[in-house]
Structure 1
Amino acid sequence: MTAARAIIHVDMDAFYAAIEQRDNPQWRGRPLVVGELGPRSVVSTASYEARPFGVRSAMPTLTAKRLCPEAIFVPVRMSRYQEVSAQVFEVFAEVTPQIEGLSLDEAFLDVTGSLRLFGGQVEAIGRFIKAQIRARTALNASVGMAHNKLLAKLASELSKPDGLLRITQDSVQSILDPLPVGRLWTIGKVAEAGLHRLGIRTVRDLREADARRLAQAMGNQAVHWQRLARGLDDRPVEAGEEKSVSAETTFETDLDTLDQALAWLARLAERVGERVRAHGLQGRTVTVKLRKPPFETHTRQVTLVEPSDVTAVILDAGRTLLRRWWQGETTPRLRLLGIGLSSFGELPQSSLFDNAAGRAQDHVADRINRKFGGGSLVRGAVLKARKPRDDESS
């Protein structure tokens, strides 16, 4: 018998509006609408404070203004939302490479292969994702967990806002049966109205309906709908190809010495190396990200002779890039530092032997850190790294 999958659906709560309230503290706790007032403008997102007034996405903003006269209307800042979305997806990539992004603020994750790293508990992965997103972005995510995509998405919807819910195989029908039939995936307003005419109003009604009568009235979709009513969904998580693995951190106090920067680079390179090996990847391009205060960002890249997954190789390349940048600055200071690996490809057979010592050391460290927690075994250079601010990412 095939083992059950572990699927997670993550949906950020009122994503655009939450970012605006985070970036503008004076708007927190007040009804806020992302979308400019105008005859052709629509609501992109409404904060939870605006929703009790009936304000919804895709509604004309003039209608939203009529429903909620006290609402604050702000323009869409897509580049800002994309920036924060990248931080969220970095968290996903630390858990699994099997990520199906649905939008900037929503994704499915197949974490079946990651369970052993979290003690076999999908709830531990869900809590990790929520905590890391909160720490790095100060935003809330709702996380649904189940053995398929249908139920994982339903779990996140039912637990909003700031939710964490798992639907187990034993609890499927007790959760599904009372729901309105329109809550099921692919059952739109027209189909829902047709089912209502047949006296089918809940998921239980649909599940228990006579299959032949249902098919005669509703067509070929009826079989599919009854599968959904039983909580059955075989769709895979359709992951895009992993393009890069990176780690970065923002410092509460700017780094002003090269020794501090090198120590932090070592810590970040260890995280990148561990994730690359966990995903079975080897990369050729090492990128270092450097941000000067207040918000001037630079990147430096180097291409390795051949793909590698060895932490020492990644770190050595990163050190070279960091030193060159540091020496070229008149008064070098760092607000943020990051390192990443990309351009993934096959690792030549010769390299397996050339880096045997480094690879063996890495695998020992990986096993110890998985068993006793990240950071249990680190390079000596890492010990000079001081504590970052709360939004550290890895």
Structure 2
Amino acid sequence: MKICAFFLAPVTLVLLGVTASAHEGHSHHVQGEKTVAGDQRTFTTVLLETLPDNSFSMNEKTYTWKHRDDLGGQSEAMSKAAIGGLHNNADEDPETQEVVTVVANHGLVTLQADLKEWTLLENQDPYFAKGMNAHGTDCFQFDDEVLWAFSSTNTREVVIAKRGEILARLPKPTGDEFENEVVNQYYRDGGAFSPCDVVWLPKAESLVVVTGYTPGDYALTAKFIDGQWKWSGPAWGGKVGKGGPFQTAHGVEVATIDGKETVIVASRGHGRIYGFDANGDAVSLPGANEQKFIALPEGSNPCNVSLTNDSAFLPLLNSLSTTNGVAPVLVMVDGSVVGNLIPASYDGLEYMHHMHGVCTVTRDGELFAIALSWPNGGENRNGKRNDGQTAVFQAVEVVEH
């Protein structure tokens, strides 16, 4: 979980790559140095023209994404589990800088701070390997310790853990927990519950969970009360056509906008980004329209949101007209798209058709994106192979020569 000024113009001190020397009359090139784990091998120079869809611009500079195939190594067991069922997102532990997720039928895994290798966490609760997933993940500080929260669509619950120790499992609400009687009635009537994503609000001291895979399509609140995690407090939203703004509320993050804690919701079905305060009142995000949402490019279906360096990174489930049949991660600043990352356009990653998650992190002033793709079983059965995979990318500045 990252708190930052969302969609604001980037500050001039953001460093995303090492600048190469410039000479007039030459093509655009990129060059950079590895800054992870002390490895100082120089990148091979790449012509920007060969990667036109994997660049983005901010702060009057242009960057391109370099696939770091030396990072993000996986065991054979993790790769096997991921190919068949990676329906995930990941988040960074604010203390250890590990990137964290749960792979269904494999277990709780962490990508170490140097980003080199995913490892199965030792001494974890066996429940993590019994079929739950991390469709949404949030790592947050609470009472001077770091907790990890996972929204599992497989087991239909929110799991809260201290590393590999499970502290709580929040199942479907019973219908008497929330301040919104419409939401309470939905659960009293037996309404379905499938939590898509979760985020911690440090000022409000509450978790917010979005439930877009259900007819309810709500944002729900959970709090730590009398030593237990419980559903309690505000609840809002609802599906379009039934009085609400959402069409599959799928991703949720928190940002600080004008000094106020703001809940960011990615509504997948109609390609919109909404802002709310902790009580569920609509907030107009920078770049939003009069209806208080940001309309993404036509055909966009955002699965999640990652916030780093005053920018937003949104993985899309399906392709756009400009992305050659495979899905991108949109890079956004101030409510506008400023570029893409298209993992399937890289050698060796051609089966990453559908982008479900992305976790952006910085290391020594460098920006990295850990992308997670979702395998479409229907496509696989029909001979169009696509896999659940992870890959690590580094943003490298492009300089005119």
State the TM-score bracket (shorter-chain normalisation).
Answer: under 0.3
Larger Rg: 1
Q: Which has the higher helix share?
A: 1
Higher relative contact order by CA 8 Å / sep ≥ 6: 1 or 2? Answer: 2
